[in-house]
Copies of this chain bind each other. A is one copy, B any other.
Amino acid sequence: MTTTRTGQPFDRAVLESLMRRRLFYTPAFEIYGGVSGLYDYGPPGCGLQANIIDTWRKHFVLEEDMLEVDCTMLTPAEVLKTSGHVDKFADWMCKDPKTGEIFRADHLVEEVLEARLKGDKEARGVKVEDKDEEDAKKKKKKVKDIKAVKLDDAVVQEYEEILAKIDNYNGEELGQLMAKHEIKNPATGGSLSPPMAFNLMFQTSIGPSSNYPGYLRPETAQGQFLTFQKLLEFNQGSMPFASASIGKSFRNEISPRSGLLRVREFLMAEIEHFVDPEGGKKHPRFSEVADVELELLNREVQLAGKTHVERVPIAQAVAKGTVDNETLGYFLARIQLFLERLGVDKTKLRFRQHMLNEMAHYATDCWDAELLTSYGWIECVGCADRSAYDLSVHAKKTGAPLVVREKRAEPLRVEEFAVEIDKKKFGPRFKKDGKSVEAAIEALTQDVREKLSLELKEKGKVTLDVEGVGDGKVEVGGDLLTIEKRTRVEHTREYIPNVIEPSFGIGRILYSLIEHCFWTRPEEEARGVISLPPPIAPTKVLLVPLSNHPDFTPQIKQLSSRLRSLGVSSRVDASGASIGKRYARNDELGTPLGITVDFQSVKDGSVTLRERDCMRQVRASADEVLEAVRRLVEGTESWADVEGRLPRFEGQEAD
């Protein structure tokens, strides 16, 4: 169980009710019965999302002159076939042939075994938390009741081992587990079909004929890779550089759950940093983050079945080889700084390294920034070294050169065995086979060339294997062919860059951030507060006239217009509710500041400024208060600074 920033036990039901009541987000198409895994963001959610994106753009794109691109979501099948998604982007599903119900295999195994372990504890008289069963229903779990059945100690241990590795089984292994442990449809006891791969991409058809299949992209990355050569040119050929993209991606989850954490349509922000694979993947600005301390949960610790993290400066982690290289390390540190800037709870952030069998086969190293929520540790940002994989496969498939060509500072001298063919004699001698023989000669490796050069010297001729010509053996004489050691000078170096990819799930960050910022006033438990930092909060200022007396209107209007011209979002609440109630409503919306216009304001133009978390107020002229608001929203001043400058006010909220 997690706790709030004030140490209270976190109650998800209370937060979810608040989210819904204040329209942060809401199930999509609810009046049509809803579609699981699809959510709409209402005004506060939408504003929060925009501020997270804005901060991301400043923190990454502007700060490092990244090249932002906006590529299409519709993607031809061929592209995703090359990238491997058509074949491998799948989860395992089982069907109940009788009821037609479909289960995600790993989730089902997990739930059934967890339920049996709980049943065992009950049977052994160990207290099981009541909340779990309530939760089971809410989280749409398949297993509805826990039966108190004692298990053998060995079985308990086996179950626990399976659960620890549940993410690492393939379909066949899941099928074996289900057979061995008799895992069936929990509702009916019916047998299930063996796990089948279910591709998670949404398929569609592009154009009027039905022979051009396409998918909705599962990530923004592929579009960036395909544009690599144009981006390199745009960057005037200079390396390293990064592209960046913000946009929706799609994943047709078998059985979405956990609210915003596992959805079918989601906003991503992805960076593809292209780097020379030679020279240890250094980063020019690594020194700026060298001392940033990260909580790392590395591969070895996980292999040992442990979860303790190590707090180390990133420079040390890179030096020790825990993190593979400087560029990867640079981004891990930058990711942490970004998340802290948003306002996540630093004690609920860790970086977990992927296990070897968890990474794509081409990845060199991969770390997830995980945030602790009531659902456990949630992957919110992935940071992978994808090596040269993607650029290589697309180049190979299309023949397009996705490469960097650099002039060498020093020309490279290469000693090699060169072949030379006397073309005048070659044609007449081999006739229609000429091309095949020539190709076979050109394709000879250096080792073979070395051997043949000796043979040529000794015997005056060589015998080559040429498929499809005569009996497959062809004799070529020294009159037609020369093989000699020569020196070639390379002035240009050509290489395929490696890619470091920090990939952000904005919805997951948004939800986790809200959990981290949520608490309730100890004096009044029903009063929730979302303590988003001022630069991140959707609305910055609530404007409150003391009552709906018409005398207050001109000042409220003027403040509203002045805030607008400062670029600070505000809302007026001129409803009849008490000041206290109106502030309470806005605490729930995460609005950090409130300005009240009262009878004193009408007399002398002064207004009060209230801070959400401490609920204290200051009173000053409109000019002074607006200047304080501007600085608080920019993040250049804290509330303590403001209280130090402006006189304290005690008042209105009592009611």
Contact = CB atoms under 8 A, between A and B. Distances in A.
A400 B31 contact: yes
Contact of A227 (B26, B78, B100, B255): B26
Interface centre among A65, A93, A236 (most CB of B within 10 A): A65
Contacts of A214: 35
Contact of A223 (B23, B28, B250): B28
Interface stretch (A67-75, A159-167, A610-618): A67-75
B205 A79 contact: no
Interface string A375-410: 000000000000000000010011010100000000
The interface residues of chain A, by DSSP majority, are classed as mixed
B569 A62 contact: yes
> Oligomeric state, in number of copies?
2
21 contacts: A28-B226, A29-B76, A31-B229, A31-B398, A35-B74, A35-B76, A41-B69, A41-B70, A42-B69, A42-B227, A43-B67, A47-B68, A62-B564, A72-B265, A73-B73, A102-B209, A202-B205, A204-B204, A206-B264, A207-B254, A208-B252
Given A31-B394, A230-B26, A254 B76 contact: no
Interface string A445-486: 000000000000000000000000000000000000000000
Given A265-B74, A569-B62, A206 B29 contact: no
A203 B206 contact: no
Interface centre among A78, A208, A212, A233 (most CB of B within 10 A): A208
B46 A70 contact: yes
Contacts of A264: 74, 206
A31 B226 contact: yes
A38 interface: yes
A431 to B, nearest CB: 36
Contacts of A49: 70
A511 interface: no
A28 B567 CA distance: 35
A539 B129 CA distance: 57
Interface in A8-30: 22-23, 26, 28-30
User: Chain A interface: which size bin?
Assistant: 35 or more
Given A29-B76, A31-B398, A69 B43 contact: yes
Contact of A70 (B40, B207, B209, B223): B40
Interface of A: 22-23, 26, 28-32, 35-36, 38-43, 45-47, 49-50, 58, 62-63, 65, 67-76, 78-79, 93, 100, 102, 198, 202-209, 212, 214, 216, 223, 226-227, 229-231, 233-234, 236, 247-248, 250, 252, 254-255, 264-265, 394, 397-398, 400, 402, 564, 567, 569, 571-572, 575
A448 B510 CA distance: 59
A100 B210 CA distance: 11
Contacts of A38: 72, 74
A234 B202 contact: no
A32 B70 CA distance: 18
A290 to B, nearest CB: 20
Interface centre among A42, A100, A394 (most CB of B within 10 A): A42
Contacts of A230: 23, 26, 42
Contact of A29 (B23, B69, B75, B102): B75
Contact of A252 (B47, B65, B207, B564): B207
Given A206-B252, A236-B575, A42 B67 contact: yes
A572 B241 CA distance: 14
Nearest to A233: B23
Nearest to A211: B100
A234 B32 contact: no
A276 B105 CA distance: 52
Nearest to A207: B252
A78 B32 contact: yes
A280 B62 CA distance: 48
Contacts of A29: 75-76, 79, 226
